[in-house]
Amino acid sequence: MSLAHGRPYLAIPGPSTMPDRVLQAMHRGSPNIYEGGLIELVAGLWPDLRRVAGTAAHVAMYIGNGHAAWEAANANLFSRGDKALALAVGQFGLSWANSVRAMGVDVEVLDFGKAVAPDMGRVEAALRADTGHKIKAVLTTQVDTASSVKTDIPALRAAMDAAGHSALLAVDCIASLGCDEYRMDEWGVDVTVAASQKGLMTPPGLAFVWFSENARQRCKGGDLATPYWAWGPRAEPVEFWQYWDGTAPTHHLYGLREALDMINEEGLAQVWHRHRVLAGAVWAAFDAWGAGNPAIAMNVADPGARGWSVTAARMGAPHATRLRTWTEKQAGVTLGIGLGMASSDDPAYHGFLRVAHMGHVNAHMTLGALAVMEAGMIALDIPHGQGALAAAAKVVAAGA
């Protein structure tokens, strides 16, 4: 008999749980898009978008998802025939590289696998080898949504500086903005991309690109930015419609306004702390479960290389798929698939999963998800160590 009836919990790494306040803000009729309240609301979004990214840089907003954010950055950063250096620590680093390559850019990929942070020595060496400074930009994910590997952005900037290279630094924060600490200007980032559906707690449909004045000047005259993708008119519009090159995404804007209000009310430093503590609770549970079954482990062994928004883990095939099915059907908790760890037709695919703790998530939601996972292991006779829930609770108690 299912116990899933009631309010479900979506513990996948995006789209994340929508706050009631965001949903209520969106539940209204269409506004006037030519004058009045919507124009005033939008004027207040840009300062808060800068604040959440830690920057005074330009901001361009697009109607689209994270892939749209990549394409917007690609189109403005590069011309056909330019070269990029992409760092990959999982599926999304590789996917961004493929996106750039498909637009006519020569891409060199440094693939560090799926479980460790980038080796900055290799990065520095690759840049030193580029004596002609043909590499225009270095691309990286701060947190790869599939692997949960976190890249140390200040260390990357230091490696670039040590190499004496002129490349721009572009960072994908789609899975980390509003979850992990991020300081665009302080860390020397030139371009940041993100989307609305994860730490920003708004439905999928808004993509963001922050870009420095240095990036704007260095990228003038490129041949990839069509009128729709060009970031200049969106960042400095003469008329309101130019923010989106057409009709505004009205109801997403209402939702985003409420989400940014919630971040401001909590305080960005506290938002980061909350995510760090909840991530630690999940890690403690997996450590305890894995003590009784070596097949259970987090994907990233080094805690310093783990993102705070999502935990990628293995359970041993076919137990991850069995557990995900049980938690959703029997208890109303939906866990994420193990994206990029194995192809869906490989039996090993069924040994991986992800637990998201991003955006509108608190202690009882995370502890509840962990309790449901343990109930599922018991119901399905999946071997596991004891004490996971107590270990997770201890982390929460200390963090609070």
Question: pLDDT tens for residues 178-206?
Answer: 999 999 999 999 999 999 999 999 999 99
Q: Give the DSSP letter of residue 299.
A: S
Predicted pLDDT at 269: 98
In this prediction, residue 11 carries a pLDDT of: 96
Reported as a pLDDT band with limits 50, 70 and 90, residue 215 is very high
- Taken in order 47, 49, 52, 53, the sign of the CA dihedral is negative
Six-digit token string for 122? 């290799």
- In 142-288, DSSP assigns E strands to 168-172, 191-195, 205-211
Question: Are 348 and 295 contacting, i.e. CB atoms less than 8 angstroms apart?
Answer: no
Place of tokens 């192809």: 343
| pLDDT the model gives residue 151 | 98
- pLDDT (tens digit per residue) in 131-144: 999 999 999 999 99
User: What pLDDT, on a 0 to 100 scale, did the predictor assign at position 383?
Assistant: 97
User: Is a pLDDT exceeding 90 seen at residue 378?
Assistant: yes
Instruction: Tell me the longest C-alpha to C-alpha distance in the chain.
Output: 67
In degrees and rounded to multiples of 5, residue 208 shows phi and psi of -130, 140
Q: What percent of the chain has pLDDT over 70?
A: 100
User: According to the model, what pLDDT value does residue 123 have?
Assistant: 98
67-106 tens-digit pLDDT? 999 999 999 999 999 999 999 999 999 999 999 999 999 9
| Residue 45 in this model has a pLDDT that exceeds 90 | yes
Instruction: State the pLDDT at residue 2.
Output: 92
Average pLDDT, the chain: 97
Three-state DSSP at 366 gives helix
In this prediction, residue 295 carries a pLDDT of 97
- Answer whether residue 1 shows pLDDT above 90: no
The tens digit of pLDDT for each residue in 289-328 reads 999 999 999 999 999 999 999 999 999 999 999 999 999 9
Residue count of the chain, please give it: 400
pLDDT, tens digit, 9 for 90 and up, residues 257-300: 999 999 999 999 999 999 999 999 999 999 999 999 999 999 99
pLDDT at 8 (0 to 100): 94
Q: Contact, 312 vs 299, CB < 8 A? A: yes
How many C-beta atoms lie closer than 10 Å to residue 192's C-beta? 29
With CA atoms as reference, report the closest residue to 53 among 214, 179, 228, 203: 179
Closest C-alpha to 207, from 261, 238, 249, 170? 249
Confidence (pLDDT) at 161: 98
Q: What is the pTM of this model?
A: 0.96
Residue 9: pLDDT above 90? yes
Average pLDDT value for residue range 40-58: 97
pLDDT tens digits, one per residue of 326-377 = 999 999 999 999 999 999 999 999 999 999 999 999 999 999 999 999 999 9
CB 208 within 8 A of CB 60: yes
- Determine the pLDDT at residue 85: 98
The mean pLDDT value for 221-228 works out to 93
